[in-house]
Amino acid sequence: MSNSVERALRILVELADGPSTISELGRRLDVHRTTSLRLLRTLEEERFVRRADDGAYRLGPRLAALAAAALDGLDIRDSAARHLAALGDTCGQTIHLGVLEGHQVMYLDKVESRQAVRMYSHIGALAPLHATGIGKVLLAYLSAGERDDLLGASPYPRYTPNTLTDRAALDEVLDRTARQGWALDDFEHEEFIHCVSAPVFDAAGRVAAAISVSAPSMVLDRPGLLAHTEDLTSTARAISEELGWSQR
């Protein structure tokens, strides 16, 4: 990469943190003022930066348009694939990627377990929001009104003795999920399958999807499942970052 291109890119990265003057940019990038001015004028002509009345430079509209086009072109499944595979290699259990589809969860991708006992779930399958880890995560970051629209009135369908069918009890779990950053499906959809799930955020900070680690009880007990929570949430953050999310 040429020095000029590298310096221009570094200027854009610096301006992403906030407006800066020519002097400030030159000092931070360790380049002469005239070099900074030459690069900024070129970037300004192409509308990648703009100079405000106070003399400070800011990111320009053309860069915003390019960023929007790049984000629109991101595919959650493609962005997540290698991260899901790595998580599957790490934990050896079934990995799911799910999104909201109407009033249900739809599985977008799946990494099969290395265990002899396999789950019958498949890509494209639908599952209930209130009784799955992924569903709880998708609900947890919504307002009460948005939850109303998706869930309707309780009681909700019961799939196992552990299914939460009451709205107040479900809201309590969803609020805890939002605070801790992950959800537990405690044998609520299938009697012998439990999972932990974590949110995937998009560039606007909205929950775009969720991922989960699932296992049959005869393969992995509760402490063993929860031991994967850190790897799960770390993977979810990595996918979120690929979608343009930033924790700042």
| Parts of the chain belonging to CATH 1.10.10.10 | 3-71
CATH for the stretch 74-242:
3.30.450.40
Cα separation, 18 vs 85, whole angstroms: 36
Give SS3 for 111.
strand
| Parts of the chain belonging to CATH 3.30.450.40 | 74-242
pLDDT per residue as tens digits for the range 38-95 = 888 888 888 888 888 888 888 888 877 776 666 554 588 999 999 999 999 999 999 9
Task: Provide the pLDDT for residue 13.
Answer: 83
Taking 50 as the pLDDT cut, the residues of the chain under it are: 1, 73
Give SS3 for 91.
helix
Task: Provide the pLDDT for residue 26.
Answer: 81
Instruction: Tell which phi-psi region holds residue 217, choosing left (phi > 0), alpha (psi between -120 and 50) or beta.
Output: alpha
Task: Provide the pLDDT for residue 71.
Answer: 53
In the CATH hierarchy, which top-level class contains the domain 3-71?
Answer: mainly alpha
pTM for the model stands at 0.73
Task: Provide the pLDDT for residue 212.
Answer: 97
Task: Provide the pLDDT for residue 133.
Answer: 97
Interhelix angle 22-29/3-15, rounded to 10 degrees, is 120
- Rg of the chain taking only CA atoms, in angstroms: 23
Task: Provide the pLDDT for residue 8.
Answer: 84
Task: Provide the pLDDT for residue 114.
Answer: 85
Cα separation, 125 vs 128, whole angstroms: 10
